[in-house]
């Protein structure tokens, strides 16, 4: 919840907003280094909708959750580029052998509506 009030990218959430926002929580698996010899291999190793990504080069790191490329309708290449950007790297840094990637998965829980019931995978409501 620290991100709700202390994330420098956004204004703090205030009490009045709680009736209008839906809260989701992503429980992440431990990240695993993606082993590859050719950066082009990443296009086949990363699966949109399953994987979250962490891009790393030196002290720079960027993480995108598995649902982000799905929400934005990105393909694998776009996902790699945006993860590099999130790390403060050029979008083509995924082609650089110095850039490393880790993948992880997420179990998502969230409210059905503001202040509503908590459900697993709220983006796929039960029929």
The answer to whether residue 67 scores a pLDDT higher than 80 is yes
The answer to whether residue 28 scores a pLDDT higher than 80 is yes
The answer to whether residue 25 scores a pLDDT higher than 50 is yes
Question: Which tens digit of pLDDT belongs to each residue from 35-62?
Answer: 999 999 999 999 999 999 999 999 999 9
Instruction: State the pTM of this model.
Output: 0.84
Q: Where are the domains of the chain?
A: 30-120
CATH of 30-120, one of 1.10.3730.10, 3.30.1490.150, 1.20.80.30, 3.40.109.10: 3.30.1490.150
Question: Which tens digit of pLDDT belongs to each residue from 73-114?
Answer: 999 999 999 999 999 999 999 999 999 999 999 999 999 999
Distances (CA, A) of 8 to 5, 13, 21: 9, 12, 19
Residues 6+ apart with CB under 8 A from 112: 22, 118, 119, 122, 125
Residues 6+ apart with CB under 8 A from 40: none
Q: What's the pLDDT at 127?
A: 40
């Amino acid at each position: 919840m620290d991100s709700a009030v202390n994330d420098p990218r956004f204004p703090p959430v205030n009490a009045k907003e709680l009736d209008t926002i839906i809260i989701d929580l992503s429980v992440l698996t431990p990240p695993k280094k993606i082993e590859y010899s050719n950066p082009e291999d990443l296009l086949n190793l990363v699966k949109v909708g399953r994987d979250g990504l962490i891009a790393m080069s030196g002290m720079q790191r960027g993480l995108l959750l598995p649902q982000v490329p799905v929400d934005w309708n990105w393909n694998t290449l776009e996902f790699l580029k945006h993860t590099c950007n999130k790390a403060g790297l050029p979008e083509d840094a995924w082609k650089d052998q110095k850039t490393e990637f880790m993948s992880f998965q997420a179990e998502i829980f969230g409210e059905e509506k503001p202040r509503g019931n908590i459900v697993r995978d709220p983006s796929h409501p039960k029929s």
